Homo-oligomer: A and B are copies of this chain.
Amino acid sequence: MANEATKQAAGADPNTRGTVRVGIAGATGYAGQELVRLLARHPLASLTMATGSQATSAPRRLPALSRIWEGDVVPLDVPALAASADTIFLALPEAASADLAPQLLRAGARVVDLSGAFRLRDDAARDRWYPATGALPRGVAYGLTEFELSAIKAARLLSNPGCYPTAALLALLPLAKGGLLAEGSDIIVDAKSGISGAGKAPSDRTHFCENHGSVAAYAAFGHRHTPEMEQALGQQVTFVPHLVPLDRGLMSSVYARLSPGVTAAQVEAAFMSTYAAAPFVRLSGDALPEIKHVAHTNFCDLGWKVDEANRRVFVVSVIDNLVKGAAGQAVQNFNVMHGFDERTGLL
């Protein structure tokens, strides 16, 4: 029996271990590699196919994954992918996702999409921010796990949230839903993201020397994660992301006004009650969390300060942009979709 447990712990034959066959399209990008890492170790999933834009064997392209997943990354073949897996994760540009997802759904697969193709419900907003994605399929669930459990459970097409909205909404929704924010309050989300958030493609923007020793704001008033936040909150948000010189992780610093009379205790209660049963949200109160605490994990850590006299609240929300902000939340949603414990494969 110790033998059996050992075997399982050490990662025996995946073919006998998993109960759900999963595939990944776009396995060589940063989020895609993180999906491979998580799904290869997931005790209730069996990773049967991973595709990339170029045919490569993973051990050559992804040396860090050697001994973790020994499969080959193969060229995309839609029928083969659809046949290989029950649930398919898409870590692709939004236009590719918009094209591929409907085909896979028709073939009977469930789809977890990590792009922005299916995040905005409003047609005009989608036309503006994601013009290459066309009409929205019916029955898309928005995968902010902590707030959408029942929709996720039933979803055949799951739209995984953006990294910035994940961190910002987990900070803001308890206050907004609790009615604690002043009407008409400016809501400011000043975000700081590691460079992996800018993607794997080499560019001036991702060059080491342009970021080392520097911080850069970008897309002020013009980032497409803004309408995603506004859709969930039902009000305007001022959002400015910044690149900071680190690899993985993201902090949202959130500023807002409280309604008259709201106390620090009410703010704390809103967070405590909202996340009482959420395994991946950790609350630290006025000990403000740091990016380092959540790197390489699926946690979102939240801390806050309240200035009752001036009715101000400041919330710090940190996540690993590739885990809770992408692949980790995707697996968390996969777990919910299949009735597994949310934490499976993520601790």
Contacts and interface: CB of A to CB of B under 8 A. Distances in A.
Interface stretch (A78-86, A107-115, A200-208): A200-208
A291 B215 contact: yes
A220 B316 CA distance: 10
Q: How many copies make up the complex?
A: 4
Given A2-B340, A9-B344, A245-B245, A288 B253 contact: no
Contacts of A133: none
A244 interface: yes
A68 B297 CA distance: 10
B290 A220 contact: no
Interface stretch (A46-54, A148-156, A184-192): A184-192
Interface in A247-302: 247-249, 251, 253, 255, 257, 279-280, 282, 284, 287-297, 299, 301
Contact of A255 (B10, B215, B218, B238): B238
A220 B10 contact: no
Identify which of A42, A190, A214, A316 gathers the most chain B CB atoms within 10 Å of its CB. A214
B240 A314 contact: yes
A27 to B, nearest CB: 17
A169 to B, nearest CB: 19
B6 A44 contact: yes
Nearest to A246: B213
Interface stretch (A93-101, A119-127, A138-146, A305-313): A305-313
A188 to B, nearest CB: 5
Contacts of A200: 207, 209
Nearest to A185: B186
Nearest to A295: B213
Contacts of A342: 10
A214 B10 contact: no
Identify which of A242, A295, A296 gathers the most chain B CB atoms within 10 Å of its CB. A242
Contacts of A56: none
A220 B279 contact: no
Contacts of A214: 246, 249, 290-292, 295
Interface stretch (A59-67, A157-165, A171-179): A59-67
Identify which of A208, A210, A339, A347 gathers the most chain B CB atoms within 10 Å of its CB. A208
Interface of A: 2, 5-11, 19, 30, 41-44, 60, 63-64, 66-68, 186, 188, 190, 192, 194-196, 200, 202-204, 206-218, 220-221, 236, 238, 240, 242, 244-249, 251, 253, 255, 257, 279-280, 282, 284, 287-297, 299, 301, 305, 307, 310, 312, 314, 316, 318, 339-345, 347
The 9 A-B residue pairs with the shortest CB-CB distance, nearest first, are A214-B292, A202-B202, A10-B343, A10-B341, A195-B208, A190-B190, A9-B43, A216-B290, A220-B305
